[in-house]
Amino acid sequence: VKFSTCKIENRKQSKRIDIQQLFDHIAECLANFLEKLGMKNQKLPLGFTFSFHCQQTKLDESILVSWTKGFNSHGVEGRDVVSLLRKAIIKRGDFDIDIVSVINDNVGTMMTCGYDDHHCEIGLIVGTGTNACYMEEMRHLELVEGDEGRMCVNMEWGAFGDDGALDDLRTDFDQEIDAGSLNPGKQLFEKMISGMYMGELVRLILVKMAKEDLVFQGHTTPDLVTNGQLQTSFVSAIENDKLVGLVSAEKMLRGLGLDPSVDDCVATQRVCQVVSTRAAHLCAAALAAVLRQIRDNKAAERFARRLHKMVRRLVPDCDVRFLRSEDSSGKGAAMVTAVAFRLAIQHAGRQRILDALRLSQEQLLDVKRRMGEEMNRGLAKESHDQATVKMLPTFVRSMPDGTESGDFLALDLGGTNFRVLLVRVRRWKRRSVEMHNKIYAIPQEAMQGTGEELFDHIVHCIADFLEYMGMKGASLPLGFTFSFPCHQSKLDQGILLKWTKGFKATGCEGEDVVTLLKDAIYRKEEFDLDVVALVNDTVGTMMTCGYEDPLCEVGLIVGTGTNVCYMEEMQNMELVDGGEGKMCVNMEWGAFGDHGELDDFSTDFDKAVDEHSANPGKQTYEKMISGMYLGEIVRNVLLEFTTKGLLFRGKLSERLKTRGIFETKFLSQIESDRLALRQVRSILQHLGLTSSTCDDSILVKEVCSVVACRAAQLCGAGLAAVVDKIRQNRNLPELKITVGVDGTLYKLHPHFSNFMHETVRDLAPQCKVTFIQSEDGSGKGAALITAVACRIRDQMGHISTE
């Protein structure tokens, strides 16, 4: 039985059926087939082609690793599909089958062709998906026992490139297809080759060309910009001979609502040819690698008897002698001992250096205690000015309760790109927030000109967005995510303390940025907006996650920088009036340690990073944790190792001496469990270390692991202080709380989140902490804060009216 041949009436629905329905359906298809053949009373051997990613331990057992091709049947992953099918057949009881083998479709392809041609040793599938299998020598298969004979290997090559190996070949179109797929970041090779994605790739290229006025007179249509409107079958038809292909191109383009010229049809045909040619070439390159592996395997079998003869033929002018070892058990043992002794000394030297970056449980508890002390100092009016953790009031007093409703605008200004968003919130409909957004660039002249020029540009972008959304002249509540240091005295006011991130617009520092925005809106005279809230991206993260989970009262950012906010009891906040309820506090915890609180944990590597930073002596905690600095810490450790002859044979490359060359993204790539040492070496070669060895790669991986682990543990220690303070505030023996998290380091590093979670569990055992990732906290979060503020304002207005 072939799984993909089972007739499924409602394909979209059945891909999400539960485990019982799925295998009952397969058993029913099998019963109907046997009934039709009049063979229901016979017990026949059955081969099961199951074309999904599986781990096999024997021929009739196959554990599903992960669904692909849009299937998502609950409860199947991690289970033996043969057992599940057997149970469904037994449950019916009207026929009996002996399931002898379960195979992948490409294995079936190889076996079918091998029946006709005994030289067939490779199976290749290139259709909706793509995969290959081949006969490998048993001695090369470390995952199974035995070293004699051969075994068919299911390559699952669709995932080639998931570790970044194809990043230099992938285009913006490939990345867009991947981002919009059901499994982003996975099956990247398949997405460049297979039929499921080829039509979409052509569509994206045509959209890009239209927007650049290269085809269709610069026009697009709703169908052309809609996902899935261009099938791969159209690509095949268009690639027919020139005349038929052009007719097919015209027919397809008119079906998309376009009025193409002959040149448009020719260009479309050429795009199809380029896309399919690239797919064929990539497939051929991978197949060539398989063929080379088989060739090398067979050559190795004859190696021993041909070695001398071939060497002499290749270098006839060299006098080559082959010596047999004498007394290998004695002298050889001594030589091995000498090498081992040298390696042991080097290992001890490396560990002494790395031990400075390893933190004990007692040290982490000390960090937690010191963070708690600084939090209290920041909350108290008397000690606030001297505190490194400023604990700034945000005037966000309440979390979403599900009754919020309406349309809200959000602005997100935190760098050289600026976003305008329309967020539609509907009462009681959790997880159904609708968002539309558009990204605008902030030109250099606006960043470094006058404040009026900067805010006039922002308002111009808002006007463009409102017109784009068909809402020109609309008056809506607005939330402003402004990710620069501000002092707030109320929710809709923020005094800019200083510009960062390259901004230098004059007339802004010391001024209320909300007033600057309102003045620019007034000058525009096209629309009016009610600026309800000015927020930090950390607070936005907490609110976004709080909309999904009512227990979320902490927001954490761990990306280029790091920060935390949480809901503090008003009675503890001496900087604002009022003693009842709660208010969100923006901790600005990156400055923790600026007064020496972390000096006994700081290493020479941390001091070197700080000394050469843009702000020496400031943001100490952030420089030990965040993505902006971890790569530089690793680079300094590698320099120390190499200088002492413990790495790279003591030879430094000029590139490794360059500050900032070791990007933090390299840590995530090197620590990926899927990345082979060969690919780690390719990263080192990028750094000019062309003669690095596998041993060097292992050591670099260890350094990256130690640095990332320390960062995650320090972050976890600080977070443990936060959740424990919330528990103590409420006099609870146990606290259940959720932390909303955003940031590339947390999301993309393969082990950072696990290290941090484990540290929080160890240091705050009376707190049961759940972590959820934020989706667009800086945009949606600002709108949700505005929605909550509007709800509270409306409630207060209603009370006043009564």
Tell me whether residue 419 is one of the annotated catalytic residues: yes
Structure tokens at 108: 């079936």
Tell me whether residue 483 is one of the annotated catalytic residues: yes
Give 128's Cβ-side CA count (13 Å radius): 7
Q: Which of 421, 420, 409, 422 is nearest to 442 (CA)?
A: 420
Q: Which of 410, 450, 406 is nearest to 424 (CA)?
A: 406
Phi/psi for 294 (5° steps) reads -65, -40
Residues 694, 300: Cα–Cα separation, whole Å: 23
Phi/psi for 251 (5° steps) reads -60, -45
Residues 14, 35: Cα–Cα separation, whole Å: 24
Q: Which of 538, 491, 540, 492 is nearest to 516 (CA)?
A: 492
Residues 537 and 556: beta-carbon distance below 8 Å: no
Burial of residue 471 (CB within 10 Å: 0-12, 13-18, 19+) is: middle
Residues 299, 778: Cα–Cα separation, whole Å: 59
User: Going by C-beta distance under 8 Å and a sequence separation of 6 or more, which residues neighbour residue 706?
Assistant: 354, 357, 358
The helix (H) or strand (E) run that includes residue 99 is strand 97-103
Phi/psi for 153 (5° steps) reads -110, 125
Q: Looking at 419, 635, 727, 791, which residue is catalytic?
A: 419
Residues 225, 99: Cα–Cα separation, whole Å: 47
Residues counted in the chain: 802
Q: From residue 246, how far is each of 208, 238, 249, 258, 502 by CA, in Å?
A: 21, 6, 5, 15, 51
Give long-range contacts, CB 8 A cutoff, 24+ apart: 470-473. 471/422, 472/526, 472/527, 473/526, 473/527
Burial of residue 28 (CB within 10 Å: 0-12, 13-18, 19+) is: middle
Phi/psi for 135 (5° steps) reads -90, 115
Q: Which of 541, 586, 565 is nearest to 777 (CA)?
A: 541
Q: Are strands 406-413 and 477-482 parallel, antiparallel or unpaired?
A: parallel
Q: Looking at 80, 537, 696, 742, which residue is catalytic?
A: 537
DSSP letters, 341-402, are HHHHHHHHHHHHHHHTT---HHHHHHHHHHHHHHHHHHHSTTTGGG-SS--EE--------S
Q: Which of 457, 474, 482, 484 is nearest to 533 (CA)?
A: 482
Tell me whether residue 674 is one of the annotated catalytic residues: no
Q: Looking at 51, 248, 276, 483, which residue is catalytic?
A: 483
Q: Active-site residue numbers?
A: 419, 483, 537
